[in-house]
Structure 1
């Protein structure tokens, strides 16, 4: 057995019989049952928020989060000697997700949000300050993409990556423009209401972060990134992950969102913010600023990565354009 795992397991009242390492998860078969030992990175602030999240759901008796087994020191995690790596233990979740549809995941996420959702009044001064700051950030990132495209156009010869960027730049700019207009629509609707929707967000909800409890109900795992925020952030994350998995299939996101809304009501503002987040070409910012795109050896891999992101953005754009338009008040 790995010495690090042995040291961590000494903090738990279980007798391991067999250990199977699966990436960041170790499956522990013990005399007391079957357990999952998760290995991750968390600083002190993240571990405190992690434990606060677990206490919150325990306090409110919400069964949608897989329980974490306390260590002998009373904490819900064990920090490794390197000071950065953290382990935590839970019961091994049942499988059976193969037959589940995307709607099932959105239903589970809606129930997760509904149990913690509330509204906060909008502070006009803070709203203006944060809105301006976010718009400036979006504009700055797009200006960097424009500057990069202009730099390419001044070249005498284009690399494969340069050519791919120029070919797809009109799509990036179109999606950025639509994203900004949806963002402004959301701002206007939120101002009219005078309040913002807030919930406990999972942070990284995706199909691999769901398990089934003994009754066949969904439970979330990997809640170390959970925090308070607008529930649309989770919605956008889950939408993208489900879209990625349906690479060669049609995506009908309106059905996913309708399922979510039937368990946790949404409004036009939520839809506008979601559309803005999905269309913003944020995934391209880091890729195009990566210095390796100038290396001929890395060109093929980067072109492939760029094409994959373009495929994703086009698929999302086409899906959003198929959503029914909200009914306008007379």
Structure 2
């Protein structure tokens, strides 16, 4: 019965592609369609995402970027079908067999992401006052976070008996403060570097970078799908969420995250100001500060035990991030030193 319903619902949409479905399987918002012309993937998205999504995909095609799961046009040339207030688009069904281990899969995905950003990169004018406003607003927010941290630790330490959450926060306070200080200093360095600049580099960002959205065909080539959140923006908007998700785990020294980042940077090098801003946002301990704020305001509905577990997970993320941030800092410092030494040698050679 359920199978008949799926066929009945899919048929009017597939008619626009001259396809007759024989069998339909559901995988969340994607349906696997077995038809008279082969196997396809039918994806459902919200109509408000439709126009931008198609525009960005077409822009990437025009720039020569073809590692996107192809989107088939209907018989009359449309790239999506509106049906019962939902938008649908059709793609080939990719085998997506695991031909590589996790590390290699991420490496290839980040190489492709760098290529996507390279082909779509452009400089856009930025008003100096807009940059200053963004900087001052961010700095003010982070100064308020520092005030909260200092106030909360004082209120915890004044108590004769701390709650388990307060006791744990007291142990974590120093690391959280150091991360916030590091972030703030990098933000100040970024502003000093860019305050007189009236341009910034933007790219088409994928919007949801994940190996779940990077599929392989039967020849082993990788393709991005799920471009519904694509938009013009800073490349940081793709990298930061990806790294944050990767580092949400038990405590670990994630050298592979460092390798993945530098694989990306090899193909799409950051300018000095972009690296400073990346380091600032990457190291910012926002999630653990939010956990403490929710507890302090009594907003969290978890109960003490779950609140403690949540705080501990945010601390693991903080420490995992700290390790990667320090490795990046070390690598960038070595690069700067090597560059300065090369320039000094060049000057000596010119003088002699």
Q: TM-score range by the shorter chain?
A: 0.7 to 0.9
Q: TM-score, normalised by structure 1?
A: 0.83
Superimposed CA distance per residue, residues 190-246 of structure 1 (whole angstroms, 9 cap, x where no aligned partner):
346653111111112122211124543221111111111111221222323333479
Q: Which moved more, 1:137-146 or 1:227-236?
A: 137-146
What corresponds to 1:15 in structure 2? 20
1:305 aligns to 2:310 (yes or no): yes
What corresponds to 1:95 in structure 2? 96
Q: Which has the larger radius of gyration?
A: 2
Report deviation, 1:117: 0.7
What corresponds to 2:231 in structure 1? 227
- Kept in 1, the 8 Å contact 2:64–2:119? The answer is no
> Where do 1:131-146 residues align within 5 Å?
131-146=135-150
Report deviation, 1:147: 4.3
194 and 7 in structure 1: CA distance in 2 versus 1, 3 angstrom threshold: same
What corresponds to 1:176 in structure 2? 180
Report deviation, 1:94: 2.7
**Root mean square deviation, CA, Å:** 3.2
- Kept in 1, the 8 Å contact 2:248–2:316? The answer is no
- Kept in 2, the 8 Å contact 1:11–1:72? The answer is no
Superimposed CA distance per residue, residues 67-105 of structure 1 (whole angstroms, 9 cap, x where no aligned partner):
223457865445564x5x654432222313442343222
What corresponds to 1:205 in structure 2? 209
- Kept in 2, the 8 Å contact 1:209–1:221? The answer is yes
Q: TM-score, normalised by structure 2?
A: 0.79
1:119 aligns to 2:123 (yes or no): yes
- Kept in 1, the 8 Å contact 2:205–2:235? The answer is yes
Q: Using the alignment, how far apart are the partners of 1:249 and 1:311 within structure 2?
A: 11
24 and 241 in structure 1: CA distance in 2 versus 1, 3 angstrom threshold: same
- Kept in 1, the 8 Å contact 2:7–2:24? The answer is no
What corresponds to 2:60 in structure 1? 57
Report deviation, 1:62: 1.7
- Kept in 1, the 8 Å contact 2:117–2:205? The answer is yes
> Where do 1:1-330 residues align within 5 Å?
1=2, 3=5, 6-12=8-14, 13=17, 14-40=19-45, 42=46, 44=48, 46-70=49-73, 76-78=79-81, 81=84, 86-97=87-98, 98-99=100-101, 100-191=104-195, 194-244=198-248, 250-290=254-294, 298-323=303-328, 324=331, 325=333, 326-327=335-336, 329=340
Superimposed CA distance per residue, residues 23-78 of structure 1 (whole angstroms, 9 cap, x where no aligned partner):
343333333222233345x462x332212212212333421222223457865445
296 and 58 in structure 1: CA distance in 2 versus 1, 3 angstrom threshold: closer
Report deviation, 1:280: 0.8
Report deviation, 1:135: 2.1
Superimposed CA distance per residue, residues 137-185 of structure 1 (whole angstroms, 9 cap, x where no aligned partner):
3333444444444454455543333333232222222111111111222
Gaps of 5+ in 1: none
Q: Using the alignment, how far apart are the partners of 1:149 and 1:75 within structure 2?
A: 59
Superimposed CA distance per residue, residues 254-282 of structure 1 (whole angstroms, 9 cap, x where no aligned partner):
43233222222223223222211211112
Q: Using the alignment, how far apart are the partners of 2:178 and 2:58 within structure 1?
A: 44
